[in-house]
Amino acid sequence: MRAGDTAKRGNGRAPGATQPSARALAAAVQDSGLVIGDDGLARPPWAAVDPLLRAYYDTEWGMPVRDERGLFERLALESFQSGLSWATILRKREAFRAAFDGFDADVVAAYGERDVARLLADAGIVRNRAKILATIGNAAATVRLRAEGGLADFIWSFKPAVTPVPRTLAEVPTVSESSVALSKALRRRGFTFVGPTTMHALMEATGMIDTHLVGSHRRGSSGVWPPQR
């Protein structure tokens, strides 16, 4: 899931980054749980089989999103994902974009009961009334947040000083001090469905932290953090 401003960087490596040796990669894969694809690249199991998830991992997940619309879309889809698989949301992404007017916060913030009824009848999205209402409310909160510099600057102000450097799947965190702080700050400003775990997932997906496993071909690809292999 990525907003329209997604940056794509060729083979996915940060400028100047070097691939590990075959021996080092083999050792990392054996110990970490990474899977080597038919293209010779190492990925986590969740991105190793389904072509849609693989493409998402290779080109979008963990790349920086710094615009309001892009982050509002990410915030909304992460909220809808709660309790569901990400693959389900990813397959419905274009339907979500159509249903929510391209995640234009001004437009969504003005939705009324007729729009809620329309969304509840739309089989292309997740028809959960609480999450639909949360997205509308979060759009209004996004508009209000412009008085404090805007959603993008606000969210990125919670970028931590260091990023995790997980070498195994077990070492990948699901929550952090930064995600807890971001969750609390957003709630104080009227956002809902923004729990610490959901905000941690948002931070991973938008490049604020790098939780690609050491040994993955995507480690360090965002340009925000060094590869740290």
Query: Does 200 carry a binding-site annotation?
Result: no
Within the chain, residue ranges assigned H as helices are 22-32, 51-59, 68-81, 86-91, 93-99, 105-109, 113-120, 129-145, 151-156, 177-188, 196-205
Give yes or no: 56 in active site.
yes
Of 179, 159, 167, nearest to 224 by C-alpha is 159
Tell me the C-alpha distance between 63 and 67, whole Å.
13
Specify whether the CB–CB gap between 131 and 192 falls below 8 A.
no
Tell me the two tokens of residue 132.
Answer: 């639909």
In this structure, how many other beta carbons lie within 10 angstroms of the beta carbon of residue 1?
22
Task: For residue 219, give the nearest of 87, 42, 56 by alpha carbon.
Answer: 42
Q: What's the rounded Cα separation, in Å, for the pair 115 and 217?
A: 43
Set 61, 78, 111, 225: catalytic member: 78
Residue located via tokens 């710094």? 66
Structure tokens at 7: 């940056």
Annotation says 225 is catalytic: no
Q: Tell me the one-letter amino acid at 217.
A: H
Residue 47, C-beta contacts closer than 8 angstroms, at least 6 positions apart: 53, 54, 56, 57, 58, 61
- Output the known binding site: 212
In the annotated binding site for Zn(2+), the residues are: 212
Q: Enumerate the active-site residues.
A: 56, 78, 86
